[in-house]
Amino acid sequence: MSTTAISNINSTVLNFLEKNNLSNNELTKLWMDNNIQNELKVSLTTKKNVATSKRQPSAYLLFCADNRQKVKEFLLKEQKDIKSFEITQKLGLMWKSIKEDPSKQEELKKYQDLANANKFSVEDKPKRGKSSYLYFCNDFREIVKKDLIKEFNTEPKATLITKELGKRWNKLKEEGKISKYEDMANLDKQRYYDEKSKKISDQEVLVSKKETKEETKEVTKEVSKETTKKTKKDNKLTGYQNFCEQRRASLKKENPSKKPIEITKMLAVEWKNLNSTEQMKY
């Protein structure tokens, strides 16, 4: 959430208070308190992330990402000037051919599997950790409400409860008595990161399974040119898998922007460039 957007919200709230004769120094100070402003920022940023979360690419989009440059180069051989829509049109025809041609169903399934492996919906994401101030409010909201009812002999407005909560929180801060709520917030923050890591780990396992299938297909093509016996082919496949297992992590680190399928292709090229002695190490 940008600073400008938050400033606009603050202006709207303060104008509302003024128009309804609710504006006073204490209430304005409370609304502009750092704790309230931080909660506003976190709340709006979270909602924005949910609303604008990146849509996962479909099988067709993954296919286009793999083949766009090839199509562009192919068209440039036939004509000097090409338009973007011509590339898209050609990709669409190629995709249609893959979907309709029985002999190309394996390639179709490859992109469908990758699309399924990439699914990670917003609803599955762990809930962000609460701040120490929110934990304090959860503990004291009802207490503050009852105290205000006793004091004014009437149901207090939400703004009055929030104002009193802010006062009591600031007092506790000054007295250094908020460690309990800081500990609760830290635990919840750790819970959030643990759940987030697990989600990412589970997703990587799915992607890894799909990559392994692609690696198997790739290596079969490569070693079939050099071996004729099934046992030798199997041995080379095992060696390739060991090579991939040892090399994949460092290759991903060296190429963080590369997609899984691109990493797989790079692994296949590196394996092919190894001589027989080097391959035997795996």
The per-residue pLDDT string of the chain (282 residues; one tens digit each, 9 = 90 and over) reads 457 777 778 777 777 777 666 656 677 777 777 777 777 777 776 555 544 445 678 888 889 999 999 988 888 888 878 888 888 888 989 999 999 888 989 998 988 888 877 665 444 677 888 999 999 999 999 999 999 999 999 999 988 999 999 999 999 999 999 999 999 999 998 998 888 777 766 655 555 555 555 545 555 555 555 555 555 545 545 688 888 888 888 888 888 888 888 888 888 888 888 888 888 887
Q: How far apart are CA 188 and CA 114, in angstroms?
A: 33
Question: First vs last Cα of the chain: how many Å apart?
Answer: 50
Question: Cα–chain-centroid distance for residue 161?
Answer: 37
Report residue 129: phi and psi, to 5°.
-70, 150
Task: List Cβ neighbours of 28 (8 Å cut-off, separation of 6 or more).
Answer: 14, 17
Q: What integer pLDDT is reported at residue 212 of this predicted model?
A: 54
Alpha-carbon distance of 131 to 35, in angstroms, equals 9
* Amino acid letter, residue 39: E
